[in-house]
Structure 1
Amino acid sequence: MVVDDALLTDPRALAAVDTGGVLRSAATAGAQVRSAVDGAIEAGIGELAGHRPRAVVLLRRPGASRAATDLLTALLGPAVPVPVVPVDRVPSWIGPLDVVVAHTADATDAELAEGVGLAVRRGAEVLLSAPGDGPVASAGAGRVRLVEPRIPIPPGLDLPRALSVGLVALSALDLIDIPLQGGLSPLADHLDAEAERNQPGHEPFLNPAKSMALRLAEHTPLFWGTDPLAAAVAGHAVEALAAQAGVVGHAADLASAVTATGLVRAIDQGASGGDIFRDPFDDPAEGPAAPPPRLVMVATGDEDPSQVSLRLTGRTWPSADLVHPVEEVPRDARHAPLLRAVVLASRFVVASVYLGLATRTTEPA
């Protein structure tokens, strides 16, 4: 996969290659948040205030729904006062005391349509973020709180919308302390600021997404999260790289990642320059060499990630790229871990788009 480095320094060339306007669509993250919140309020989500459900079911469907569910689950943590159940399908025990939250960009998702229909028949509250036409919306039979997309975007760029609808639902149920009216404005504002940093006109040394794209080029990316929110972002980063740039990577939480001893050895060998005792003439490589690993440590908490790593794994990772946006979201900011998570999720998506454009793997319009 050959990377055209010069392309990333030429805004006009980028625009010419980005025939589908993916970069422009990725910059709508803040607008997606605002429109999703407005749509959820208009759908009557505020009527759930004071309702204490038996369980909250978060549906993980293909696409951004998976990352949104992982982020919401990590945000709630183990202390949430009601069971929160992340599942791929609506469970058979669903009933009138339960709340279902679902998002999809696929209006024809047959499995989701079946699940929505089941939940409605059983009397559950359903908050559905989906296109207004197609089998999924029709399955609600007018008895779901439907939030339709208001900003058209290509597939894979809808995490801000999916996450916002989930946050509004959890806020209405009083499971998180984000007020409905204006509560997500800081999130949208930080996404707007990140879009400004990552705009095509900025040189790579001023553009964190371009810089990340160049660092990942011709490497096997390993995204390891030092906390639950960061691990969810890491998973989204790997999915974005696969979707936008055709790059295969690895994502995990730090404590689990270090059990992959082969990856740890590869990281350490790469940091030390490889095996100094290997003779390339006596021990020739068989076939093309695999791309070397590039470890990206992702952190969203307030604590120094190096200290977290020492506590969890007994070591640090000097060769890793540390991504911990405490300058963008300072430690005293309200909901700082969530804000850092959405900033990083957006950055990794845009970096994936830049890498896809620079390697000509992004599908043209």
Structure 2
Amino acid sequence: MLDDSVLDDQRRIFELDTGGLLRMAALGGAQVRAAASAASEAGVDDLAGYKPRALVLLSTSGVGPATCRLLAALLGSSCPVPVVTTDVVPTWVGPLDVVFAYGADGGDTSLAESLELATRRGASVILAAPDEGPVGAAAAGRAKTISPRIPVPEPLSIAHAFTAGVRVLTALGLLDTDTDALADALDEQAERSHPRHEISENPAKTLALRLADRIPLLWGVDGPSTAVAEHGSFVLGRYAGIPCDVTDYQQSVHRAALYRAAATVGSEADLFADPTEETTAGWRVVLLSTRDGERARFTERTATAALPGADVLAPNESQQGDGVRSSLCLAVGFDMAAVYIGLASDSLNGDDRPVSAAR
């Protein structure tokens, strides 16, 4: 159970956070700057003007799967290049293709085998992973490697993985992103989520209180927000021990029994409801929206009208107007909320070990 008194006690939070997880969760802006710099040094800009036959987004675990799906969703159906999101490199990959791979662990032999195949077949490979183990060996001298430089636990590294991918997509001319503005937006969000700010003024604490001791139904109104929900589910499971249901809103409608039950769930009105009183009392329906484009806004309006008791999780005004920025800000917001819940409910179970050095 969450002890909500801890959330407004800065001294107590710092005492509980022996591994410095909150500080590391607040380093999203630093991760963006470091990844952008590492990408430049690795020669990612050499891809400028190249038109690949296909773009393969490859990852097996950690923050990678959600990151790759988010990148693909941001490109959308109008992308001029076929995009494949996978955990194993396709057997047809060849010299006309670009492979962006993310590795959570340098010892991932499955990823190493995929990298070996892709490089042997002549594909252009960009790897965001620690330069070590079988993964590092498979990429050595044959791939552009963007290694993490900011020492954070892997579950809190989506800013690194995402920025590395965005730099690749930007070099290929598929996205147009200002990484400096992206980093600044994360810095501003981290400042507002600092433990010194009370719950009413702190977006991460507010989200933590909304999700703690609940079963969140994280439903995205479009592709990017659904990918963000997937990351939210991952990090909430990792640090807060919270199981989540994740899908896009359109699919949720077709799960008729669950959808009808969700429509009866209240929001702030049942914040202190007894979960034993009824089946849905412990649920929290959260509609995620990047508010990027009229289609996302229309689906958000439709969903909120059909689910009046649902919470809406969306970027603030300064974060809107750019799908890349709004998506990453929402994702990193889940990181900080998950850590707050873990600290205030004692659910970290040893997962607060400090990280000694960047790899």
TM-score, normalised to structure 1's length? 0.89
> What is the letter of the counterpart of residue 52 of structure 1?
K
- What is the aligned partner in structure 1 of residue 97 from structure 2? 98
Structure 1 residue 300, shift from structure 2 partner: 0.8
- Counterpart CA distance in 1 for 2:256 and 2:30 is 42
- Counterpart CA distance in 2 for 1:72 and 1:170 is 9
One of 282, 286, 299 as aligned partner of 1:292: 282
In terms of mean alpha carbon deviation, does 301-310 or 290-299 score higher?
Answer: 301-310
**More helix per residue: 1 or 2?**
2
User: In 2 relative to 1, CA 305–114 (structure 1 residues): closer, same or farther, beyond 3 Å?
Assistant: closer
* Residue 25 of structure 2 is aligned to residue 30 of structure 1: no
- Counterpart CA distance in 2 for 1:291 and 1:131 is 43
- What is the aligned partner in structure 1 of residue 339 from structure 2? 353
- What is the aligned partner in structure 1 of residue 170 from structure 2? 171
- Counterpart CA distance in 2 for 1:26 and 1:55 is 34
One of 244, 248, 265 as aligned partner of 1:249: 244
- Show the 5 A alignment for 1:249-288: 249-271=244-266
In terms of mean alpha carbon deviation, does 260-269 or 32-41 score higher?
Answer: 260-269
Structure showing greater radius of gyration is 1
Structure 1 residue 266, shift from structure 2 partner: 2.6
- Counterpart CA distance in 1 for 2:86 and 2:153 is 25
- What is the aligned partner in structure 2 of residue 192 from structure 1? 187
SS of equivalent to 2:254 = coil
- Counterpart CA distance in 2 for 1:84 and 1:349 is 27
Conserved? CA contact 1:105–1:130, under 8 Å: yes
- What is the aligned partner in structure 2 of residue 341 from structure 1? 327
- Counterpart CA distance in 1 for 2:239 and 2:4 is 17
SS of equivalent to 1:297 = strand
- Counterpart CA distance in 2 for 1:340 and 1:171 is 17
Structure 1 residue 105, shift from structure 2 partner: 2.4
> What is the letter of the counterpart of residue 221 of structure 2?
T
Conserved? CA contact 1:209–1:348, under 8 Å: yes
> What is the letter of the counterpart of residue 144 of structure 1?
A
- Counterpart CA distance in 1 for 2:259 and 2:76 is 28
User: In 2 relative to 1, CA 120–359 (structure 1 residues): closer, same or farther, beyond 3 Å?
Assistant: same
SS of equivalent to 1:255 = helix
Conserved? CA contact 1:130–1:149, under 8 Å: yes
SS of equivalent to 1:240 = helix
- What is the aligned partner in structure 2 of residue 322 from structure 1? 312
Structure 1 residue 305, shift from structure 2 partner: 6.6
SS of equivalent to 2:85 = strand
Conserved? CA contact 2:66–2:227, under 8 Å: yes
Structure 1 residue 86, shift from structure 2 partner: 0.7
User: In 2 relative to 1, CA 68–12 (structure 1 residues): closer, same or farther, beyond 3 Å?
Assistant: same
- What is the aligned partner in structure 2 of residue 308 from structure 1? 299
> What is the letter of the counterpart of residue 155 of structure 1?
E
Structure 1 residue 307, shift from structure 2 partner: 4.1
Conserved? CA contact 2:266–2:310, under 8 Å: no
Conserved? CA contact 1:309–1:316, under 8 Å: no
Structure 1 residue 12, shift from structure 2 partner: 1.3
Conserved? CA contact 2:229–2:288, under 8 Å: yes
- Counterpart CA distance in 1 for 2:316 and 2:264 is 30
- Kindly provide the CA deviation profile for residues 168-222 of structure 1, in whole angstroms up to 9, marking residues without a partner as x: 11111111223xxxx2111111011110111111111111111111111221101
> What is the letter of the counterpart of residue 343 of structure 1?
C
Conserved? CA contact 1:266–1:293, under 8 Å: no
- Kindly provide the CA deviation profile for residues 209-259 of structure 1, in whole angstroms up to 9, marking residues without a partner as x: 111111112211011111211111111111111111111011111111122
In terms of mean alpha carbon deviation, does 103-112 or 256-265 score higher?
Answer: 256-265
User: Tell me, which stretches of 5 or more residues in structure 1 are unaligned?
Assistant: 275-284
- Counterpart CA distance in 2 for 1:184 and 1:71 is 16
Conserved? CA contact 1:53–1:82, under 8 Å: yes
User: In 2 relative to 1, CA 307–289 (structure 1 residues): closer, same or farther, beyond 3 Å?
Assistant: closer
SS of equivalent to 1:258 = helix
In terms of mean alpha carbon deviation, does 233-242 or 262-271 score higher?
Answer: 262-271
User: Tell me, which stretches of 5 or more residues in structure 2 are unaligned?
Assistant: 271-275, 354-359
Identity of aligned residues (%): 44
- The CA RMSD over aligned residues, in Å, is 2.2
* Residue 348 of structure 2 is aligned to residue 362 of structure 1: yes
- Counterpart CA distance in 2 for 1:192 and 1:168 is 19
- What is the aligned partner in structure 2 of residue 277 from structure 1? none
Conserved? CA contact 1:34–1:184, under 8 Å: yes
- What is the aligned partner in structure 2 of residue 44 from structure 1? 43
- What is the aligned partner in structure 1 of residue 356 from structure 2? none
- Show the 5 A alignment for 1:228-239: 228-239=223-234
SS of equivalent to 1:15 = helix
- Kindly provide the CA deviation profile for residues 291-347 of structure 1, in whole angstroms up to 9, marking residues without a partner as x: 621011111125497742455x694321111122242324xx4xx222111111111
Matched residue pairs, number?
A: 344
User: In 2 relative to 1, CA 358–289 (structure 1 residues): closer, same or farther, beyond 3 Å?
Assistant: farther
- Show the 5 A alignment for 1:104-119: 104-119=103-118
In terms of mean alpha carbon deviation, does 41-50 or 291-300 score higher?
Answer: 291-300
TM-score, normalised to structure 2's length? 0.90
- What is the aligned partner in structure 2 of residue 280 from structure 1? none
* Residue 200 of structure 2 is aligned to residue 205 of structure 1: yes
User: In 2 relative to 1, CA 13–243 (structure 1 residues): closer, same or farther, beyond 3 Å?
Assistant: same
Structure 1 residue 56, shift from structure 2 partner: 0.8
> What is the letter of the counterpart of residue 241 of structure 1?
L
